[in-house]
Amino acid sequence: MTDTFERSCAHWSETGRREMEDFYALASVDYRHLAEALDWVDWLRARQARAGQRPLRLLDVACGSGKFPSALQGYAGVSPSSVAPIDYALLDPSAFSIAEARSTLSPPFVAGAEYETTLQALECPRHHFDVAWATHALYALPTEQLEAGLQRLLDAVGDTACIAHAASDSHYLRFYRAYLDAFHDGGGTPYVSAEQIVAALERLGARPRVHEIHYTNGAPEAQAAQVQGYLQRCLFDDTLDLPQMLAHPLTGAYLETCRQGGEWRFAQHVLLIFCET
């Protein structure tokens, strides 16, 4: 069986663009809530002050489609007039994702180095980056490689690592677990949870600070095609359509809890995790 990591990599490609666009029609709100959760202008300025006169060096881990820097510009006031230029490096195992993220960057984010690799295979000088963030990025990281990947992240950063990730009671993790039980006989690797990340960071000697965010992704029931694309991307599986998901007792029972008054409402619980290095 193709497992979680392999399926996720396969879907970050040009052939998965339509599904990706349907996903972000609902999931872009994930990044808006992150952008509104903190005064990111002050946060970035403080780290720039510690970096001195050179540009802040930032690593975007599993950069995806570059939604987070776009949200910071759209909702958090991050602009060339508020923040000095940032040397913005992109890491992702998918060349497609790196190209997508690079195409979205605009000042103060200046596209820099590219790392077409997994986090756990990252090679760079120790503390080369001032800041690294991983926003909704580590779900498919194999659990047996979680600590190794997080150690590489901590080693790469000289100031602050920031991880935004869904908790175990969030839609992304609950739905994926139901999917594995329903369509893979309970086999396969569940998504990594925010709680697992916090525990792993603590085992590595870090002292993570956590800020919790609660919200919903939603759409009218009439937008069935878009909701189907969103749910397929949640699973990295476009072989199942929405009627099949609803028909299975396990995924169907879960999805029925997400329908209220003609609307789809997918409840999210996200931890914003900071580690000062």
Q: Is residue 247 helix, strand or coil? A: helix
Beta pairing, strands 209-220 & 157-166 = unpaired
Q: Token pair for residue 222?
A: 């009439």
Whole-number pLDDT of residue 124: 96
Which CATH class for the 4-168+189-218+265-276 domain? alpha beta
Closest Cα partner for 264 from 167, 156, 171, 165?
Answer: 171
Mean pLDDT rounded to a whole number for the chain = 94
pLDDT tens-digit map of 218-228: 999 999 999 99
Q: How many CB atoms sit inside 10 A of residue 184's CB? A: 15
Please measure the distance between the N-terminal and C-terminal CA atoms of the chain and give it in whole angstroms: 39
Domain locations along the chain: 4-168+189-218+265-276
Residue 1 has pLDDT above 60, yes or no: no
Residues 16/213/101/173 CA torsion (nearest 10 deg): -30
Closest Cα partner for 161 from 114, 113, 191, 122?
Answer: 122
Q: How many CB atoms sit inside 10 A of residue 86's CB? A: 24
Beta-strand ranges (E) seen in 116-262 are 129-135, 157-166, 209-220, 259-260
DSSP-assigned states of every residue in 153-185? HHHHEEEEEEEEEE-TTSHHHHHHHHHHHHHST
Give the whole-angstrom CA distance, residue 129 versus residue 89.
9
In sequence order, the 6+-apart residues with CB closer than 8 A to the CB of 82 are 41, 108
Region 158-175: mean pLDDT is 98
Give the whole-angstrom CA distance, residue 55 versus residue 214.
34
Whole-number pLDDT of residue 77: 98
Q: Token pair for residue 126?
A: 């120790």
Whole-number pLDDT of residue 31: 94
Region 16-33: mean pLDDT is 81
Closest Cα partner for 82 from 72, 95, 68?
Answer: 72
Whole-number pLDDT of residue 12: 59
Amino acid at 187: G
Amino acid at 8: S
pLDDT tens-digit map of 61-89: 999 889 999 999 999 999 999 999 999 99
pLDDT tens-digit map of 174-225: 999 999 999 999 999 999 999 999 999 999 999 999 999 999 999 999 999 9
Q: How many CA atoms lie within 13 A of 274 on its CB side?
A: 13
